[in-house]
Amino acid sequence: MLPAMPDAVVLALDSGSQSSRALLFDAGGTVLAKAAQAHQPMKHPEEGAVEQDPIDIRDCLFGSVKACLEQWGGDASTIAAIALTTQRNTLVPAGAGGVPLGDAVSWLDRRTASANSEPSRALRGVLKLLGDRAMIPRLLAKSVPRLWRERSPDLLGQIQHVAPLEAWLNHELTGRMAMAPGGLAGVLPSDLGKRGWTGVGLLYKLLGFERRWLPEIVEAGAQIGAIKASASAATGLPEGLPVFACGGDKQAEALGGGVRLSTPNVAAVSLGTASSIMFPWPTSLESGQYHWITLCSCEARSWQLEYMVFRGFWTVGWFAREFGGELKALAEEQGKPVEALLCDEAAKVPPGSGGVVTWPRWSPTLQEPCEAGTVMGLRETHSRAHVFRSLLEGIAFDLRRGLETLEGATGTKIREIRVGGGGSRSDVVVQMLADVLDLPVLRPPSEELAARGAALVAAVAGGLFPTMDAAVAAMVPAAPTIRPQREAVAAYDALYEGVWSQGTTETRRLSRGLAEWVKRPL
């Protein structure tokens, strides 16, 4: 831990799926300045592909830093530390000097490598024998190097780094290709218990990785490096300013909401592009069937158990784009997003959406690769508002399913939720979450919890506080509580238990049949 100046501040960087943001915090947790720049639209070069330009992401991050500093107008020499959090499981193929060889493969990418991507004839035969519904072939199929081997074999010959976005952006800031253990997300040759890369050579071979491609792992809160000259020129940050390891954005969100090992029976909910329910755990408790994902937290000796609705509030944005077009002019006039006007419509619809029920599986899970979004119960009396509210309820029901899964696996009983992410701006959404989960929900004043989590890491590492306990006490503000409404709770309990939960099995069965139909020759 470095000694801090009396008027020291910290800079939190948060690069998500849609935009990159920079926020300056003082020791009291006040946001002194913030700026954001939207990334270019995601690319879809083929069916299921989701890619992003890493240079654009970097330029947006650097541009947001520069704009944040200009907005602040303070003395940059008082910035004690920087910490970066990013979207997880987005991989950058890079060559010499970390120069990207192509676009980053997003965590939203749905492509899979076939068994033919396996060079070993014997193992290829085993994978085909197991079939694509077995867990091991499905895991191997999601390995990005295997995907490149099958679709872009020339790329593999040039690769020197397969860098999660966090590691690549740290390289662009400091010159060191490194990340926190929290970046160990997705299909990677990792050992979560040891918070690093595995020592099992067979796993590298199976997943198609070479050890030399992978970045260094630096424990959360430890220094990765210092701002290099080129990053200083692009951002206005002082050269030599220390950058500390943080971890993935969902783990940073939990920390930013004050959800830690020291707060038992409290879970965090993130209502972002992906929607998750999560809480910390003292060991790397993993699910062999991936009913939940296990990640390293933004604090040493702490892990995070997380259930994710993969396209959570992405589907809300999708609905707004596809079905809310005529609201765009009114939204611009009122200075609101279209989603806010749709929430206003949904507020007029009673809980249960008049019998419209949605399973929000726009992106399938690893367990059910054929799963698809499903809407049931439509009648001639229903409107856009009913369908939109049903979509919001479906996300909340899915998070309830996740809560039950995590509670069952750990023997924990959650008694309080802390919510963040863009969806938490909506009163309708947060009240619905409280009603569906039948739990009090604390909503912090700002939904920028991931940035606050990164700021907490930077504040301790930069010497503003001696411990994370002290940093959280000073920098995490009190949050108002939204309590469940008893009539809505009763309505949602009946709908969840009688229809949604039972219907999950049936919609999965139908989705498998639909997937076979889609594959038929035209």
Sequence-ordered strand ranges (E) for 96-185: 104-105, 161-164, 178-179
Please list, in sequence order, all residues whose beta carbon lies within 8 angstroms of the beta carbon of residue 87, skipping any fewer than 6 positions away. 15, 16, 17, 106, 107, 165, 248, 249, 273
Handedness of CA 124, 145, 306, 109 (dihedral sign): negative
CB within 8 Å of 476: residues ≥ 6 apart: 29, 256, 257, 258, 444, 452, 456
DSSP 317: H
**Helix-strand-coil split of the chain, %, nearest 5:** 45, 20, 35
Q: Would you state the structure tokens that stand for residue 106, as one six-digit string?
A: 């997003």
What phi-psi label fits residue 506: left (phi over 0), alpha (psi between -120 and 50 degrees) or beta? alpha
Query: Contacts for 193-202 with beta carbons within 8 Å, 24 or more apart?
Result: 193/283, 193/284, 195/219, 195/296, 195/300
Q: How far apart are CA 425 and CA 432, in angstroms?
A: 13
CA 342 – CA 319 distance, rounded (Å): 9
**66 vs 232: CA distance, rounded Å:** 10
- CA–CA dist 241, 249 (Å, integer): 22
Neighbours of 466 (CB within 10 A): 10
Q: Of 112, 116, 136, 113, give the one whose Cα is nearest residue 124.
A: 116
Beta strands in 126-271 (DSSP E): 161-164, 178-179, 190-191, 196-197, 216-217, 223-226, 242-248, 266-271
Please, what are the domains in the chain?
9-249 (3.30.420.40), 315-443+485-522 (3.30.420.40)
Token pair in block for residue 108: 């939203």
The percentage of residues in the chain with a pLDDT greater than 90, rounded to a whole number, is: 86
What 3-state class would DSSP assign to 391? helix
CB 349 within 8 A of CB 308: no
Q: What is the DSSP letter of 43?
A: B
Task: Supply the mean pLDDT for the chain.
Answer: 94
| Segment 230-256, tens digit of pLDDT | 999 999 999 999 999 999 999 999 999
Residue 3 pLDDT grade (very low, low, confident, very high; cuts 50, 70, 90): low
pTM: 0.93
3-state secondary structure of 198: coil
Query: How would you classify the pairing of strands 481-482 and 293-296?
Result: unpaired
Identify whether the C-beta of residue 256 lies closer than 8 Å to the C-beta of residue 451: yes
pLDDT score for 522: 65
453-511 pLDDT, tens digit per residue, is 999 999 999 999 999 999 999 999 999 999 999 999 999 999 999 999 999 999 999 99
Average the pLDDT over each of 129-143, 272-286, 334-348, 415-429 and give the range with the smallest value. Answer: 129-143
Model pLDDT, residue 259 = 97
Q: How far is 487 from 352, CA to CA, in rounded Å?
A: 11
Given pLDDT bands bounded at 50, 70 and 90, which one contains residue 124?
A: confident
Residue 192 has pLDDT above 60, yes or no: yes
pLDDT of residue 67: 98
266 bridge partner residues: 416
Tell me the pairing of strands 374-376 and 357-359.
antiparallel
Residues 6+ apart with CB under 8 A from 294: 192, 281, 284, 285, 286, 287, 303, 304, 305, 306
CB 268 within 8 A of CB 254: yes
Distance from chain centroid for Cα 356: 28
pLDDT for residue 390: 98
Rounded to whole angstroms, the Cα distance separating 320 from 27 reads 38
* Helix 486-495 and helix 427-437, axial crossing angle in degrees, nearest 10: 70
CA dihedral 303, 307, 310, 313 (to 10 degrees): -100
